[in-house]
Structure 1
Amino acid sequence: MKGRVLIVAGSDSGGGAGIQADIKTVTALGGYAATAITALTAQDTRGVRAVHAVPQDFLRLQMRMSFEDIGADVVKTGMLADGETIESVADVMASHGQGVPLVLDPVMVAKGGSRLLAADAVEVLKRRLLPFAALITPNLPEAEVLSGREIRDLDGMRAAAESMLTLGVPAVLLKGGHLPGARLFDLLATEDGVEVFEGPHLETVHTHGTGCTLASAIATGLAQGMGLRDAVLRARRYVLAAIRHAPGYGEGHGPLDHGVTVDPERIPA
């Protein structure tokens, strides 16, 4: 086991996304996952029924205890829900997480369409949390909000990714899964330029938690000492395999097979 990842995100009672997907991903890739839960959700593959926020002092305590004892090589954030939560996370990063890389997944909308970040919290996210980020991993709708640009094709993705770099983050992984077509394009933008990663666009509804999974997989790679590009490449391979082996659970957007790397027949004696 190598690489400590502190995950700050919401709980998914259905187990396919959020903290549950994050823990599975980090574990499946050989890392160690600690958590600070921001909110509890009641949801399944069909959508989010209810959200119950965790008190801010308790959220801050969870983060501080992880930093002060086990420590963290990378912090990964997911669902933060509102400006107050973002402020709490930023405060603890400032007091305890200085120098720890942050992989920020700007979770704004659930797969079923439910809003997971208050509209007035976007500016707080930009102002307070982006300065800590080593990488942000928006999908196209999130990138449109952060960049203020409409994205309809690969050229639009390039322009949006370059625009988001001006927000002060050193790297952007813009996920292109919302674009139609047989091929899927992700863009990694840094000060060195933009690299396009291409892969098959799988026709399946079993994609719940792909964003959480990808960001946590990248965070694990960085925590294990991998370079950003290599961490992204491994994470993309892992997510693709997890989608291809999805168990088919649920009536809506089903979960991935996060254990695709695990062979229960090879448990050491």
Structure 2
Amino acid sequence: MSELITPQGRYAVAAILFDKDGTLLQFVSLWGSWGECLLERFTKDMKQRGLQIPEEQLPALMGTIHNAQGSITDYDRNGPLAMGTMRDLYAILSWQGYLQGLSWAESMELVHQCRLEADVMLEEKRPVHSLPGLHRFLDECVSAGIPLAVVTADETDAAEKHLQWLGIRHYFSEVIGTDLVDQGKPFPDMVQLACERLAVEPAHTAVIGDTNGDMRMAKAAGVQVAIGITENEDTIALTHILPDADLIVRSYAELSIEVTSL
């Protein structure tokens, strides 16, 4: 048996499940780049059709925070880009095109083309960076024999690819994307499927994530502990962002594994 050691106590765990974006890899480096490309192409193509979405409305579309130059610098941990599926994001943009006067079919086709361009950009640049201390923690988990899995709102194929880019795919026994279940976050389906495949009970499992959707998913599945991870230093903000977390850490430096028995 192994124990997960946290700032607020020790937990005997049979498995650990991780969200992907914002938990394993830095969210803005990947999805900020993708979101900027998607929005830039979308607004450009809308203008070519004589239609325009006010710039001040763009951050609200996907829950992003922009600087004066329009670059995405942060994100709403409980917004569409952080918690939604790809279908959710495409529906949001398609709805904007429809509101501006496009037919629903035209709007969906436009968003599809914008998505393809953003995906090509990601393939070329591969802007992925792991969170500080992640590799050390994953190594400890593997050395202790703790099975690991990823449960992500992303699609499984895309998640597999991002983990490969980051060089950490080999750590995980399972990768569960939202396309493998009936209901994604905050519903328990992904945790339940991951635990079924790992042959462990949710009650003996820890979930680590960066959004309250991760925490609610974990609680709905009945896991032992739901851990929020965020670099935010504002205690009040943390309470607002992750109200359902059992505990919150600011980096993997606050987590470790100890083998208590064989």
TM, length-normalised to structure 2? 0.30
Q: Tell me which of the two structures has the higher relative contact order, counting C-alpha pairs closer than 8 angstroms and 6 or more residues apart.
A: 2
More helix by share: 2
